[in-house]
Amino acid sequence: MLLAAILLGASLRFINLGGKVYWHDEAYTSLWLSGHNTGHMADYIFREGEAGTADLRKYQQLYPGRGLPYVLMALAVENPQHVPLYYALLWLWAHLIGDSVAALRLFSAVVSVLALPLMYWLGRELFGSERAGWVGAALLAVSPYHVLYAQEARPYCLWTVTILASTLALLRAVRSGSRRVWLIYAALAAAGLYTHLLFLMVLAVHGVWVVAGAVKRPGRSVLGEYSRAGLLALAAFLPWVAVMLWRWSTLYQTYVWLARVAARQYSVRYWLLGLGSLFADLPQAWRGWLGGDPPSPALYVPYVICLVLVGYSLWDLWRRAPREPAWMVVLLAALPFMGLALPDVLFGGRRSLFFRYFVPSYVAVHLSVSHLLASRLEARRPAWRLATAVLLAAGLASSAINVSLEVTWNKDIEGRQIQAAARVLNACPRPLVVADPKSGPFPHLLALSRSLERDVRFRFVRRLEAPGATEGFSHVFAFSSARLDSRPPARPGQYGLEPVPGSRYLYRLIE
């Protein structure tokens, strides 16, 4: 049962990679891989004034003459919080395999599969149980959350791998005392820092765990070894620290955006959705929570069951497991979550609404549940065997549904709007789209260009109501990633705006 779940879950990661909508986060990935940033696009746009679909796609492909240094510079200038390891590896992959949507996502899928043996190994190392390793790998394989992010050209799968690998190396280093293993841990910790900035939270968990457990090994300087390894990892990260200090204002703007006040009533719902998506996923409930038709109360039941299961597994882990593995799992579950959720609760913000930032906590949740299920399976309890089968089947069914969809819940708003705009433009024989560069639509337009089936002309203007000459075009639309109000023409010779039904980004220009 467990092996079959692992094989099926791993296979699902490779289905329909090119059939899902390419949304603006992934468009940023392709933009940086081309060695450009939105500033380069703006320079081109202001110089030319008009571009076609092929012109936009040039910024979504490997660009001749722009090697890896250009990729690193594009990241540093535009988004220094996106550390470069994933993008550097993806750039190399794209040169070998290709830069199509499917090829870029294939890299994430392959990396995600690498996490499965690491989860097995970590579960076995933590709990001293072969079965715990197999259950953990099976749960990770069929997890709807991990399958979804295995099909995105973003660094979350690589972050999962570095969390698992570094935690495993730390356990081996503490138990063996080998300097070579400590050096491996330092290298993996540095790789984690270069994969995602929030890996700092994982380092904090490791540090607290070492400090809490060091007194149990009075004959060995575990704390000293960890300190040296941690300092070595941080020293290796100093070049990018210098980049972030150089682009501090850009980094600060990202923090300000995350600290912007969000509706607190959504927080618990988002947390519950994120936790439930680890095991069973109901996309229709997600749409209801975002303000659509209220979902049936029955749709909340799987998420509540998952919450109870996770809570019980953590309690059981603390009660039954040795202190060292229990501390590691509880700290890994609690500290990253509290580090994001507490500031939102106390001061407001939206840090914890992006549960892709909770990867360390989600890894811990899988470990905790795998310990619970493995201990009950070893005791040969039929009810728990059935519960394990149901949990794996729910994950497989949810993941199978998600991989078949063009737009999944983790990109629901942006993805559906890009899809709707593409559908309208593809139905027009010769459309013109005008956009105001000040409204920041570049990433959305890049994502849109991936879904267009014909050449569409894009014109960039200072005012949407004054698009210039429109002769020869069958339809004229305005594009804005910010919501605009409908308005009639202000005076003769100008245009008014009328929303296109079903599309939040497109507006019809009317005289």
Question: Comparing 94-103, 336-345, 440-449, which segment has the lowest mean pLDDT?
Answer: 440-449
Shared domain check, 421 and 475: yes
CA distance 145 to 410: 9
* Residue 54 included in any domain: no
How many C-alpha atoms does 17 have within 13 Å on its Cβ side? 21
Residue 440 has pLDDT above 70, yes or no: no
Question: Comparing 76-85, 287-296, 355-364, 502-511, which segment has the lowest mean pLDDT?
Answer: 287-296
Phi, psi of 507, deg, nearest 5: -135, 135
Q: Structure tokens of 161?
A: 């791998």
Shared domain check, 425 and 330: no
Q: Which of 13-22, 153-162, 298-307 has the highest mean pLDDT?
A: 153-162
Predicted pLDDT at 285: 46
* Residue 218 included in any domain: yes
**The residue type at 406:** E
Helix (H) or strand (E) holding 298: none
pLDDT band at 39 (very low <50, low <70, confident <90, very high): confident
Shared domain check, 420 and 402: no
Q: Which of 42-46, 126-130, 183-187 has the highest mean pLDDT?
A: 183-187
Predicted pLDDT at 416: 81
CA distance 82 to 85: 9
pLDDT tens column, 327-360 = 999 999 999 999 888 887 777 777 777 888 999 9
Q: Structure tokens of 424?
A: 């309208």
Residue 127 has pLDDT above 80, yes or no: yes
Residue 78 has pLDDT above 70, yes or no: yes
Question: Comparing 112-116, 324-328, 339-343, 493-497, which segment has the lowest mean pLDDT?
Answer: 493-497
* Residue 470 included in any domain: yes
* Residue 71 included in any domain: no
Which residues span the domain enclosing 280? 2-18+100-406
Shared domain check, 324 and 304: yes
- Which DSSP letter does residue 305 get? H
Over residues 376-389, the mean pLDDT reads 84
Phi, psi of 151, deg, nearest 5: -115, 25
Last residue of a domain, one of 380, 406, 432: 406
Last residue of a domain, one of 384, 406, 428: 406
Alpha carbon 74 to chain centroid distance? 20
Nearest CA-CA partner of 204 in 212, 347, 12: 212
Q: Structure tokens of 225?
A: 């070894």
CA distance 324 to 334: 15
* Residue 485 included in any domain: yes
pLDDT tens column, 392-411 = 998 998 898 888 888 887 78
Other beta carbons within 10 angstroms of residue 161's beta carbon come to 21
* Residue 361 included in any domain: yes
Shared domain check, 435 and 311: no
Shared domain check, 382 and 257: yes
Over residues 229-244, the mean pLDDT reads 94
Using CA of residue 171, residue 177, residue 181, residue 186, what is the dihedral sign?
positive
pLDDT tens column, 47-69 = 767 888 888 888 888 988 889 99
Last residue of a domain, one of 391, 406, 421: 406
Query: Higher pLDDT residue, 197 or 218?
Result: 197
Other beta carbons within 10 angstroms of residue 496's beta carbon come to 16
Residue 137 has pLDDT above 60, yes or no: yes
pLDDT tens column, 410-439 = 787 778 888 888 888 988 889 888 887 766
Shared domain check, 506 and 458: yes
CA distance 166 to 185: 6
Question: Comparing 43-52, 262-271, 450-459, which segment has the lowest mean pLDDT?
Answer: 262-271
Contact 373, 135 (CB under 8 A): yes
Other beta carbons within 10 angstroms of residue 411's beta carbon come to 21
Predicted pLDDT at 510: 80
Predicted pLDDT at 290: 47
Chain-wide mean pLDDT for the chain? 86
Tokens 């003459």, residue? 65
Helix (H) or strand (E) holding 173: helix 156-176
CA distance from start to end of the chain: 65
Shared domain check, 458 and 388: no
Nearest CA-CA partner of 473 in 489, 451, 492, 495: 495
Shared domain check, 394 and 267: yes
Alpha carbon 10 to chain centroid distance? 18
* Residue 315 included in any domain: yes
DSSP H helices in 49-84: 53-57, 68-78
Residue 92 has pLDDT above 90, yes or no: yes
Shared domain check, 337 and 191: yes
Predicted pLDDT at 493: 64
pLDDT band at 291 (very low <50, low <70, confident <90, very high): very low
Residue 85 has pLDDT above 50, yes or no: yes
Query: Higher pLDDT residue, 47 or 112?
Result: 112
Shared domain check, 186 and 282: yes
* Residue 76 included in any domain: no
Question: For the chain, how many structural domains are there in total?
Answer: 2
Shared domain check, 257 and 165: yes
